[in-house]
């Protein structure tokens, strides 16, 4: 196809609109940036709607293009920079239909055994890191109550493609999340809330996280970076755990804290297996 060199080309404006939630909703597309995310799309068997790449990138990566490739549009470096959200794009961006992504059931069955529920997580980097860890830990679904948009470019990059593989369900707020949690409880899932050590509510102190039986059907609840888990959701929890650590810090970053919690289930399953 003819090389696009003008930043005023209508395609540039259409793809720049995908930087915002409204543009993604209206077009039903995600904007993915970089060679790694194209590789993940190929590995997951997903079909891009369109690929934009510089001539230099196409010369180096011809083998990455699908044999049944969609529209591959050569563009100048200036045009690619205008479309991308990163300062120094590596030469390729692509669009992916949102309809191709796995869908979360959000039903009472709790996503097949292990669900991560996030209460208004705000930072895209934290969300992306969490999604990557969740995929590594065998989480079946992720439920989000507001917070950062999991399909924005920064989350997609931080998740290294995990956001494309995990069934996600995003609700407007925690009030809409509550029925999902109650449904999971009614089908025998344990709802696990994490508390800061020494800040336990109620008569029973929280367990060190490794003492909990994580092999049971489980929904892990995590709160946002500033306020933590909202009391309304924490009150639903059937189990409360803590991550013991030095008193030199008051609490852990939510993405860091999620690592041992999510992977403890995997460890226990491997130990029993």
pLDDT tens by residue, 95-116: 999 999 998 876 545 445 899 9
Number of Cβ within 10 Å of residue 226's Cβ equals 9
How many Å separate Cα 11 from the centre of its chain? Answer: 27
How many Å apart are CA 119 and CA 125, to the nearest integer? Answer: 15
* pTM for this predicted structure: 0.89
Amino acid 50: pLDDT: 94
pLDDT tens by residue, 117-144: 999 999 999 999 999 999 999 999 999 9
Q: How are strands ordered across the β-sheet holding 50-53?
A: 29-33, 92-97, 50-53, 71-74
Mean pLDDT lowest among 17-31, 89-103, 240-254: 240-254
Task: Please name each of the domains of the chain with its CATH number.
Answer: 10-100 (3.30.1330.30), 110-272 (3.40.1280.10)
Amino acid 110: pLDDT: 47
């Amino acid at each position: 196809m003819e090389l696009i060199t003008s930043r005023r080309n209508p395609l540039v404006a259409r793809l720049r609109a995908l930087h915002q939630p409204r543009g993604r909703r209206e077009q039903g597309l995600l904007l993915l940036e970089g060679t790694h995310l194209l590789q993940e799309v190929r590995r997951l068997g997903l079909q891009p709607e369109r690929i934009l790449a510089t001539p230099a990138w196409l010369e180096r990566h011809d083998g990455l293009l699908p044999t049944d490739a969609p529209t591959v549009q050569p563009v100048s470096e200036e045009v690619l920079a205008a479309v991308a959200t990163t300062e120094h794009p590596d030469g390729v961006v692509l669009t992916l239909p949102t309809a191709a992504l796995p869908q979360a059931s959000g039903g009472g069955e709790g996503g097949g055994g292990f669900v991560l529920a996030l209460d208004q997580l705000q930072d895209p980097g934290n969300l992306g890191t969490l999604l990557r860890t969740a995929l590594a830990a065998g989480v079946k679904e992720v439920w989000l109550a507001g917070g950062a948009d999991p399909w924005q470019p920064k989350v997609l990059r931080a998740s290294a493609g995990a956001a494309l593989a995990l069934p996600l369900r995003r609700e407007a707020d925690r009030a809409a999340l509550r029925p999902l949690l109650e449904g999971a409880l009614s089908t025998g899932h344990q709802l696990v809330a994490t508390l800061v050590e020494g800040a336990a509510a109620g008569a029973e102190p929280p367990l060190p996280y490794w003492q909990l039986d994580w092999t049971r059907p489980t929904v892990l609840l995590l709160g946002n970076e500033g306020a933590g888990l909202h009391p309304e959701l924490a009150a639903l929890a059937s189990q409360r755990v803590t991550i013991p650590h030095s008193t030199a810090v008051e609490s852990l970053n939510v993405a860091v804290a999620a690592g041992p919690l999510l992977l403890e289930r995997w460890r226990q399953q491997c130990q029993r297996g």
